[in-house]
Structure 1
């Protein structure tokens, strides 16, 4: 378990947050491309794709460091709902509508790794999870056996109950140690059938970022950062498992009353 603390950033508005999120993501991209010529990341749904689009589709300053190289990106999903890809509940559709469809042609096209749509109507989403894990294994374990995939970046949200991905408070999936991708048949939040990256995969990433904004998040963020009672919440477990590899991007209303030290820039 990590011992260092996560990084908490707070910004006065969404524009300032997007500017710093861009710096963070492109720094992770450039480090990854220098290491292995591709940028492998996982993203969640909710408000994250819109925040990501605001950050990445802003005009570049013209330097290589400030330029998304989308043709070298492999985008996976930190969790996904067992629905068709064009369904309004689909995280794939959300990311496509908010970001992918708006990328200028000169910046290239990322490789997207969606779920296998043929199995979204199965009674049990386990096959969906198994097939997605096989996709991960093709990308991360092609040359030799690896215990866990190492994403260059995982981008997450935090629900008002402290859940992240489709890992919910008190759920047995939080204890999963072996699977890379787990199935959920009875999610506390609809739709009930989902797949999700497991906690060991999330905390194994090189960089992990949460984006949490709005006054509706201040109570749960106070629990996560300041109170012992929040230590078992899924988002807090990511903090504990990955420490300083975790960065939170928040606005001031989201951390109103939170005493954990925060910074205003990277």
Structure 2
């Protein structure tokens, strides 16, 4: 089990022999970032995706985390959301609420979800405005190098195509730099209308964790990690979005199971940790 003080490397690649070990260490990692953030700032601002990632953080709702984490200081945001009603089965909010929030004592007022009663464009603008208000009162920290929120932790799951949040390969949303939150109406996965954090926001976080599990992620993991050390100015819209995640003043941790990491060689993996 990793200690909070071990979070030093700017990029940390962790490979686990099985999914159970991965989820255990992921819970410990999140709890550590929470503890550090509450100690240093008085609150913990975390943004997360939905989908199967919700199941992967489930151990946080059990012992010892249920009793040791200061849930009252958590503020939860969504890196992306489907433009559906909050009670719709595709809603990230509903998935997170049913599988996680209903089991931990995070104050409901500390969960920032989109307005599901407006069009997706308006929902994106309103979500960005809500985040800006919380940056003003320092519930969310602010990046000193650019006009962006500095979340304590952004938690992402990478898709088989290398997408993160609702940033898909070759999509124009990858090039947006002036907005914190944008929207898309042509997602390659249903439903087509979604909001998403932009890359500048993701890359302004203090900590970013990307989770990938399963053999169907192996090709995308190889491309994202093997190419991630190259000059970012050479990236183009065809590069997998996960490859473009590179926190400017923060730390990036990859959580991989053996299947997802199966195509990495020793040079790609570098100084990865095997568990």
The two structures have a TM-score, normalised by structure 1, of 0.87
| Structure showing greater relative contact order (alpha-carbon pairs closer than 8 Å, 6 or more residues apart) | 1
Matches within 5 A, 1:183-262: 183-226=183-226, 232-239=239-246, 241-242=247-248, 245-259=251-265, 260-261=268-269, 262=272
Q: Is the 8 A contact 2:115 2:123 kept in 1?
A: yes
The CA deviation at 1:141 is 2.1
> Does the residue aligned with 1:248 lie in a helix, a strand or coil?
strand
Distance 1:224 1:18 in 2: 21
Runs of 4+ in 1 over 3 A off after TM superposition: 107-110, 142-146, 227-231, 241-244
Distance 1:233 1:29 in 2: 29
The CA deviation at 1:226 is 2.3
Could you say which residue in structure 1 is the equivalent of 2:114? 115
Could you say which residue in structure 2 is the equivalent of 1:264? 274
Q: Is the 8 A contact 1:141 1:149 kept in 2?
A: no
Could you say which residue in structure 1 is the equivalent of 2:70? 69
Q: Where does structure 2 lack aligned partners over 5 or more consecutive residues?
A: 1-8
Number of aligned pairs? 250
Q: Is the 8 A contact 2:212 2:257 kept in 1?
A: yes
Aligned pair in 2 of structure 1 residues 235, 19: CA closer, same or farther (>3 Å)?
A: same
Q: Is the 8 A contact 2:142 2:150 kept in 1?
A: no
The CA deviation at 1:264 is 2.8
Per mean C-alpha deviation after superposition, the further-off stretch among 74-83 and 254-263 is 254-263
1:62-89 Cα deviation digits (max 9, x unpaired):
9xxx822111111000000100001011
Q: Where does structure 1 lack aligned partners over 5 or more consecutive residues?
A: none
Q: Is the 8 A contact 1:222 1:257 kept in 2?
A: yes
Distance 2:152 2:142 in 1: 18
Could you say which residue in structure 1 is the equivalent of 2:5? none
Alignment of 1:12 with 2:12, yes or no, is no
Could you say which residue in structure 1 is the equivalent of 2:152? 152
Distance 1:208 1:35 in 2: 18
Q: Is the 8 A contact 2:48 2:79 kept in 1?
A: yes
The CA RMSD over aligned residues, in Å, is 2.5
Aligned pair in 2 of structure 1 residues 242, 159: CA closer, same or farther (>3 Å)?
A: farther
Could you say which residue in structure 2 is the equivalent of 1:38? 43
The two structures have a TM-score, normalised by structure 2, of 0.84
Could you say which residue in structure 2 is the equivalent of 1:49? 54
Q: Is the 8 A contact 1:40 1:73 kept in 2?
A: yes
